Amino acid sequence: MKRALIIQGGWEGHEPLLTSQRFANMLREEGDWEVQIEDNLTYLEKEEHLNAIDLLIMCWTMGKITEEQRDNVSKFVGKGMGLAGAHGGMCDAFREDTQWQFMTGGQWVSHPGGDGVDYTVQIHHGSSPIVSGLMDFSVSSEQYYLHIDPAIEVLASTRFPHPDVPYYHLSNKSIDMPVAWTKFWGNGRIFYQSLGHQDRVFEESPVAHQLMKQGLLWAGESKKEAESLQLTTERFENDAKMY
């Protein structure tokens, strides 16, 4: 059995209790996953605990993370533990921590128009198995604008600016904003999806639900792959001051 740890909490407006249960069910229905849900960041301080985890799923919007907690996540993802999350639960967590943003691949900065914006998500078919069988879809929710790492592999995107949402960014050229992506951190796989302001988004948009599930499963194979290839972290280690 593979093991997943879901850390839920932070701002309650993102319904972390509901989304964490949904993500747990996505894994449990596969039949080969044990899932533990916790509501305290102190679980990130236990190295022996993280060492036994195949996948860490974050459902924690805003808040603060300690240097020890963040360094442990960074180290164990670097070794091969998968990391995944959605919406503000991962890429609007710990706004003051730049290393968290470097590791996860992006940071939320705005959602022009607020909740209830109708927009289309375009799937990028290519090398990733995560988007296999998925097609473009429409959602009615927050449309996330993020500052992103150019190294990510974009799996889905949406067009900005929205023609029906006035705001100061309208002065700029139109761009494709990533909605879902993958990234590597050392030997670890990272998956993120910006949808999921509330749990209902996954009910109303089945493709968003399936995209999340396939992303979790992909990230969850990270540790197994690192072990099968006998990968180490030697080439990544550096004692210089990074942050």
196-216 b/e (C-beta count within 10 Å ≥ 16 → b):
bbbbebbeebebbbbbbbbbb
- N-to-C CA span, the chain: 36
Alpha helices in 92-134 (DSSP H): 98-104
Secondary structure (3-state) at 50: helix
pLDDT at residue 40 in the model: 95
In degrees and rounded to multiples of 5, residue 186 shows phi and psi of 60, -125
- Three-state DSSP at 6 gives strand
Under a CB-based contact definition with an 8 Å cutoff, are residues 79 and 100 in contact? Answer: no
Distance CA 221, CA 85 (A): 15
pLDDT digit string, tens, across residues 107-136? 999 999 999 999 999 999 998 999 999 999
The rounded distance, in Å, linking the Cα atoms of 67 and 83 is 18
User: Tens digits of per-residue pLDDT, 44-103?
Assistant: 998 998 999 999 999 999 999 999 999 999 999 999 999 999 999 999 999 999 999 999
Determine which helix (DSSP H) or strand (DSSP E) holds 89, and give its type and residue range.
helix 88-91
Q: Is 174 helix (H, G, I), strand (E, B) or coil?
A: coil
Distance CA 223, CA 221 (A): 6
Of 106, 111, 108, the residue nearest 167 (C-alpha): 111
pLDDT value, residue 243: 87
Distance between CA atoms of 243 and 240, rounded to whole angstroms? 9
Rounded distance, CA 95 to CA 99, Å?
10
- Compute the distance between CA of residue 104 and CA of residue 91 in angstroms, rounded to an integer: 7
Q: Quick one: average pLDDT of 145-170?
A: 97
Separation of alpha carbons 46 and 208, rounded Å: 32
**pLDDT per residue over 194-224, tens digit each?**
999 999 999 999 999 999 999 999 999 999 9
Tens of pLDDT, residues 93-113: 999 999 999 999 999 999 999
- Is the Cβ–Cβ distance between 99 and 74 less than 8 Å? yes
